[in-house]
Structure 1
Amino acid sequence: MNRRDLIRQMVWMGAGIAFLPSCVYKQDQLSIQLKKIQITPAQEKLLFSLANTIIPPGDSPGAADLGAHLFALKMVDDCFNKEDQEKFVRGLKAMQEHIKKNGADVLEEKVEDGKLSLLKTVSQKSDNNEIPGFLDPFRRLVVFGYTQSEYVMTNLVPYKLIPGKYHGCVPVTTSTIKS
């Protein structure tokens, strides 16, 4: 075996070893890559459930089905300043702890009334002041992400190009001409 073949095989082997970790799928990974904030898969599941509570699925997909919770996370990661990101993560952790204490099974159920009542009690009677710092921006971002999604913009609110349809032959009457 000559030296060039050996070096070529070592390069291919090194590239394969470097590429191998990206081929392994782990069940407990996040579905979005974040640079500045750190959340767990359990927190992402909580955000999914909260997004479905804010805009539940019906005849059209809900907010979580369209990925509005991931949009909210990406906006917090990219557009919020450091203090607001920390406030958001602290509020998310406080919300997770509050749900564990006061109704861990409520968000798992399909009943929307229980989820809505939980959100109302958390936002109104929260003994922890950090939860509104998470819930208010998250709700605002989920609604914004849902209303600006491709599905909503193409199916629910059809886009009409300005100035509108061209009418080439319209009779001119005296009522349309104002002097």
Structure 2
Amino acid sequence: MNRRIALRHLALISGGLALIPSCDFSSDDILAAYENLKVTASQKQLLGDISNTIIPAGELKGALELEVPDFILVMVNDCMTSENQMLFSSGLAAFPDYAKNKAGKKYDKLTAKEKEDLIQAGIDLKPAETPEEEKDRAIMYFLNTTKRLTMQGYMASEYIQTEIIPYSLIPGPYNGAALISETQKPRING
């Protein structure tokens, strides 16, 4: 082999190895399931953490176990106007910075009580008309929409409608003399 070619290859390899530590291979790809929203996997996980803070798991399954974040993203993607979708997306993108500024830590490092207080403070924001408060408006809209859709998705889930509060499309027979006991599940007739 020619010595010049060997030295050229050695220089290219060492230059490439010197650049590898500066490369960022941890790209956060946009999820393709939602055409109108530009949501990444980390943002979807954050949305799951927020919805799980709103309805945590206990005796009953929590919002995260019932896949409520998917419901939220589908509802925002399919049922909202483009302006509201943009407001929701910008609020979702601005929420980690808001959490870090307000609480001093990342959202996932907070305790359950701190998360609840942070979400409540975000819902209660009073934005003005300056560009800085536009972020507050987006965060307030994002948290209000997330709270509303979390409750809607949770109550409309198959688990709630079949196991917790049985849904009957057609009312059953009328029995006016029956006593309602605490062990009997309530019936919701549509």
Residues 125, 140 of structure 2: 8 Å contact kept: no
Separation (CA, whole Å) in 1 of partners of 2:35 and 2:161: 29
Shift of 1:108: 3.8
Structure 2 length as normaliser, TM-score?
A: 0.65
- Counterpart in the other structure of 1:82: 82
Shift of 1:100: 3.0
- Counterpart in the other structure of 1:142: 150
Give structure 2 stretches of 5+ with no counterpart: 1-26, 127-132, 176-190
Residues 96, 107 of structure 2: 8 Å contact kept: no
Residue 50 of structure 1: SS of its match in structure 2?
Answer: helix
Does residue 152 of the first structure (1) align with residue 152 of the second (2)?
no
- Counterpart in the other structure of 1:92: 92
Shift of 1:28: 5.9
Shift of 1:120: 1.6
Does residue 130 of the first structure (1) align with residue 138 of the second (2)?
yes
Kindly report which structure 2 residues correspond to 1:157-172, keeping only aligned pairs within 5 A, or say none. Answer: 157-165=165-173
- Counterpart in the other structure of 1:55: 55
Structure 1 length as normaliser, TM-score?
A: 0.69
Residue 63 of structure 1: SS of its match in structure 2?
Answer: coil
Residue 130 of structure 1: SS of its match in structure 2?
Answer: helix
Separation (CA, whole Å) in 1 of partners of 2:155 and 2:37: 25
Separation (CA, whole Å) in 2 of partners of 1:83 and 1:149: 28
1:30-52: per-residue Cα shift (whole Å, max 9, x none)?
Answer: 77711111111221111011000
Identity of paired residues, percent?
34
Shift of 1:102: 3.2
The count of residues paired between Structure 1 and Structure 2 equals 141
Give structure 1 stretches of 5+ with no counterpart: 1-26, 168-179
Hey, which bits of structure 1, 4+ residues long, moved more than 4 A?
Answer: 27-32
Q: What amino acid does structure 2 have at the position aligned with 1:68?
A: V
Q: What amino acid does structure 1 have at the position aligned with 2:137?
A: N
Residue 138 of structure 1: SS of its match in structure 2?
Answer: helix
Separation (CA, whole Å) in 2 of partners of 1:150 and 1:75: 17
Shift of 1:161: 4.2
Residue 117 of structure 2: SS of its match in structure 1?
Answer: helix
Evaluate the alpha carbon distance shift between residue 35 and residue 106 of structure 1 in structure 2; reply closer, same or farther with a 3 A threshold. Answer: closer
- Counterpart in the other structure of 1:41: 41
